[in-house]
Amino acid sequence: MAITITAFERSPDGGKGLARDTRVRWALEEVGQPYEVRLVSFSAMQEPAHLALHPFGQIPTYEDGDLGLFETGAIVFHIAERHAGLFPDDANARARAITWMFAALSTVEPPILELGNARLLEGDKSWTAQRMPLVKDRVHNRLGQLSRRLGDADWLDGAFSAGDLMMVSVLLRLKASGLLDAYPNLSAYLARGEARPAYKRAFEAQWAVNTGKPPTG
């Protein structure tokens, strides 16, 4: 039975890899599982057929036989649990990898989402220029803590895991902002993630959907 995921018919980022299907594609590439993609338009995402699969009207979703899942973190977890390559064998190390998945999504990403909202949803508001330093400070607070923990290690806890996949994916949202420039070890961590062959395949696949072209470099 083929795994099928959903992705934007046309991603708001034009193929820069920031849509969350990239995270799921990356996980599937890391564990070597083939998958099919069903593209969904913005209007179809709000229709009953898609809402039955994803109550919040978003992508990605994951279907495999009679199992339907939504929520990127849960899908990546499911892939990591079922296929070798994203969780360590040792039980305690596995629990710590799961901890980093949750940390990426519920501690590091929320201030980054708030920064995105300030830019995309409030960019034209009178208060945004004055408010932006506060929003950036909240992101820097988390980045500083993460940078201190990572130190000069390659990955967050030993070998690359689903925790790193999720943390790198979250940090990628900041790549264009310049906020990571103050943290050379986080920039290098991001570059290590992007250099993984599985990430490159995932990026290229979503790029092809959004541009109809192979990657330009």
* Spatial contact of 148 and 87, defined as CB atoms under 8 Å apart: no
Q: How far apart are CA 23 and CA 169, in angstroms?
A: 7
Taking the complex as a whole, how short is the minimal distance between the CB of residue 208 and a second copy, in angstroms?
Answer: 27
How many Cβ atoms from other residues are within 10 Å of residue 161's Cβ?
25
Asked if residue 56 binds a second copy (CB under 8 A), the reply is yes
Chain center to CA of 145: 20
Q: Coil, strand or helix: which one is 113? A: helix
Q: How far apart are CA 115 and CA 96, in angstroms?
A: 28
Instruction: For the segment 99-138, give every residue that binds a second copy (CB under 8 A).
Output: 99, 101-103, 105-107, 109-110, 113-114, 117, 121-122, 125-127, 130-131, 134, 138
Instruction: For the segment 68-97, give every residue that binds a second copy (CB under 8 A).
Output: 69-75, 77-78, 92, 95-96
**Binding residues for a second copy (CB under 8 A):** 51, 55-58, 66-67, 69-75, 77-78, 92, 95-96, 98-99, 101-103, 105-107, 109-110, 113-114, 117, 121-122, 125-127, 130-131, 134, 138, 142, 145-146, 148-149
